[in-house]
């Protein structure tokens, strides 16, 4: 079984289900806050591989949902700069293992970690919050 570094948005219900799926598959998780991690451009870029820039963004991020950020109109360098300034824009989870890194729960190395999928299982991607887009954790604490 693998040791998985799992960068999450604390309190995210979807991330909680994803962590449970990895734990149930026998993996050891090292959970970190995506929002508190001291990212650098080079380190963050390594999670996206050769995926299109638009796929780097969290589609449920408030600025994406409102149209303030258009993931399809942003180049790689600008996308990374936006994400460093506002980590809620980063597609999550970010997952790191000995075999690779990825953003999101629908690509390698996550698929290999989970093994064959149950066709009747609840999807493990996308925001499960009834308040989508997900509220900013700082705003939630203030209310």
Catalytic residues: 12
H/E run at residue 109: none
Q: Which residues of 55-68 are buried (b: 16+ CB within 10 A; e: fewer)?
A: ebbbebbbbbeeee
Are 116 and 60 a contacting pair, CB within 8 Å?
Answer: no
* pLDDT > 50? residue 95: yes
Please indicate whether residue 67 or residue 118 has the higher confidence score (pLDDT): 67
pTM above 0.85, yes or no: no
* pLDDT > 90? residue 89: yes
Stretch among 2-16, 21-35, 100-114 having the lowest mean pLDDT = 100-114
* pLDDT > 70? residue 133: no
pLDDT the model gives residue 112 = 79
């Amino acid at each position: 079984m693998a040791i998985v570094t799992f960068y999450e948005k604390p309190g995210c219900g979807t991330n909680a289900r994803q962590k449970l799926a990895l734990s149930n598959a026998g993996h050891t998780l090292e959970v970190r806050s995506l929002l508190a991690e001291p990212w650098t451009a080079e380190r963050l870029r390594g999670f996206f591989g050769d995926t299109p820039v638009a796929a780097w963004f969290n589609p449920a991020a408030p600025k994406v949902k409102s149209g303030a950020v258009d993931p399809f109109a942003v180049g790689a360098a600008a996308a990374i700069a936006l994400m460093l300034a506002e980590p809620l824009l980063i597609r999550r989870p970010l997952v790191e293992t000995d075999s690779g890194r990825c953003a999101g729960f629908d690509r390698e190395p996550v698929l290999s970690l989970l093994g064959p999928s149950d066709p009747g299982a609840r999807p493990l991607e996308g925001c499960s919050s009834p308040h989508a887009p997900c509220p900013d954790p700082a705003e939630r604490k203030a209310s």
